[in-house]
Amino acid sequence: MIGGDPSIGPRTERAAVSRLRCALLDDFQAVGTTVADWSLVEDRVEVVSFQEHPADEDALVAMLKGFDIAVTLRERIAFPAAVFARLPRLQLLIASGMRNSVIDYAAAKEHGVTVCGTASSQTPPLELTWALLLGLARAIGTESTAIREGGPWQQTVGADLHGRRLGLLGLGKIGARMAPVAAAFGMEVAAWSQNLTQERADEVGVERAASLHELLRGSDFVSVHLALSDRTRGLLGAAELAAMKPDAYLVNTSRAAIVDQDALLEALRSGTIAGAATDVFDTEPLPADHPLRTAPRLLATPHLGYVTRDNYRRYYGQAVENIHAYLTGTPLRRLP
């Protein structure tokens, strides 16, 4: 046995091999092997980086067919029971972050696959949220493109932050950290979620909106910081977007499915809201012909929320630690 936990299932009886193979999935920038020190496991593990996203389940299975270990970023690639059943060689799956809604943990256990996670910082998505909000307010993308392409000089009039109201959908780890930054800009801050209490709002120092519609009607900027669940899926639809001020902006760096994408497209095309910024999409990478790529009033980034040097060092560095611990029979950071 090469390593792992004797309680994890039938794959513990595999014959030992001289060197395991580890796949780094969605390593778009090809940095997975360089931001971390793999020397701890290099004598027992061969690491292969994949820059191409698997198009579907068949492509994922074909990609991982010859691998014992897989490292996957966030929740971009689903690992349902059918995938585990088709990958009898897979022993260890490592996901960045300590929460993942697209891995079937029961199926992983049934098929003898150990699942581990890594730490993840809230700072990168917080910083990107403000980059997008500021980019919307001052039309940075539009004006920068005009400079590069010889377009009009000063074609937009920016929106002010000072004295305006920021509405936070969710007041968790990231949402709560939005508040002091907003205060530094001189903004008023209100928040709402299904579970938000007055005590939590007071603790963070923000106003607690009585309802979702009250928050939307009264905010100049709305920023989404909710976890995706059955209750939050499609939370912002056509009626909710219509409740926003026509000169208000929406920012979503959380999960795409919280905002109805068809309703968002229509709101942007019709001018129901002044604009939106998003870092998350229902399908990632976004297809080349997807209508969001050409939507008016939209500032979009390719899911960069977690993509910083320090966070990548954390993800891949702890992936190395997880692999080493697994090989010694003491898995770290087990999920769920």
Residue with tokens 């579907």: 56
Question: One of 284, 290, 313, 333 is an active-site residue; which one?
Answer: 284
Of the listed 111, 297, 303, 314, which one is catalytic? 303
The long-range contacts involving 206-209, CB below 8 angstroms and separated by at least 24 positions, are 206/168, 206/171, 206/179, 209/167
| Spatial CA neighbour of 89 closest among 24, 11, 13 | 11
d(CA 122, CA 305): 9
Q: In what order do the strands lie in the sheet with 20-24?
A: 45-49, 20-24, 69-72, 92-95, 114-117
Report how far apart, in Å, the C-alpha atoms of 75 and of each of 22, 63, 299, 325 are. Answer: 19, 18, 22, 23
Q: What is the rounded CA–CA span in Å between residue 277 and residue 261?
A: 12
Nearest residue to 218 via CA among 227, 209, 228, 226: 209
Does the annotation count 284 as an active-site position? yes
CA distance 199 to 203: 6
Catalytic residue among 255, 297, 314, 321: 255
Token output for 88: 């009898």
Separation between Cα atoms, residue 7 and residue 307, nearest integer Å: 35
Residue 128 to residue 280: CA distance in whole angstroms = 12
Q: Is 75 among the catalytic positions?
A: no
Active site residue 240: no
Known catalytic residues are 255, 284, 303
